[in-house]
Chains A and B, each alone.
Chain A
Amino acid sequence: MRVSLFVSCLVDQLWPSVGLAAADVLRRAGCEVDFNDEQTCCGQPAFNTGYRDEARRVAQHMIETYEGDTADAIVMPSGSCAAMVHHLRELFEDDEAWRARAEALAQRTFELGSFLVRELDVEDVGARFDGRVTWHDACHGLRDLGIRDEPRRLIANVSGAELVDVHSSESCCGFGGTFSVKYPEVSVAMLDQKLQAVEQADVQAIVSGDVSCLMQIGGRLQRRKSAVRTIHLAELLASRG
């Protein structure tokens, strides 16, 4: 399987280790991995703030980038970006040609964890991580793409890792893109409530499939001088103890 890795703008600029880990995990699962240098962003920040023209412009760049890419699948270490690609068609309601191109891209686009489990039928990538961890369901992966069991199964197969499910795993971390800076107090209050259950669970790390959530959660944990750390699913799956 030839995979083109879309790392997302956040991983490219802030969290390159997640991209490298994703490539490593995909290779271990038997994929040939490529990185298309034309990639930038999926357009979500503008789309979610209401700037549709701006989002459309970036979306068109995204679509063109991958039309010239013959990979079998485009895989992203982000449920949020993958969900955005599935929403791109909504930007082209009056433009049938572009809508078809957006839909064609969506059909080849997958989030990393669900790609491993659903498309490659791989649940054990031979990772090792010693410690108790909990999973944070990032909203768009969970509710737009229906990703719930896949990452949990992958984590359960990491030797040495103990997965603790907390009741707040499905509640939003409060990031929400520009929401986090338009209503910062509400955003942080949402996260604090979620973290209450996490802190009671006595875990070493919170694992998630989206760096945007991890930026929010990690930034707050750091401010609160918490010992709990954040780790991306790709990094967990790439770790060898």
Chain B
Amino acid sequence: MPNWIKFFFALWLLLPGVSVAQGVEPPLLTVAAPGKTIDEAYESLLRAIGQHNYTFVRDQAIDSRLVPQQWETKNLRIVYFCNFNKMDRALSTDIRAAQFLPCRITLIETAGGVEMVAINPAWTSIVLGNPLLHPQCLELKQDYLAIMEEAAL
């Protein structure tokens, strides 16, 4: 049997296992920053974003432009950021990557500190059903976790 047939057969056998493994991805990634205020967590997050080769894009309150600025919710802030190389690669692979790019982390102030939450791109790629996009989403997930864990320190 030619090698390339063996290769595709092996791939065929392996991918369902990958698919099953994908099923265990949680929809949300959450990292706690105990003892921090939302302003402290925000500053740490911006530093961590830069240190991981991402660019800060913008931030907003959850009710931004819905209520006067002075009434905006103060205990929840959304931060958008991007690595344009990765965005270009992901959009070239599957234009639907625009559904989860640029990256977003939501900061939520709680009684004990701040929670940082992001939608898990690896879960999203399962929903989109494109195995070619999935490796990039796994990499993105690791970046999210690294950024949030660093910001939590």
- A, B from the same assembly: no
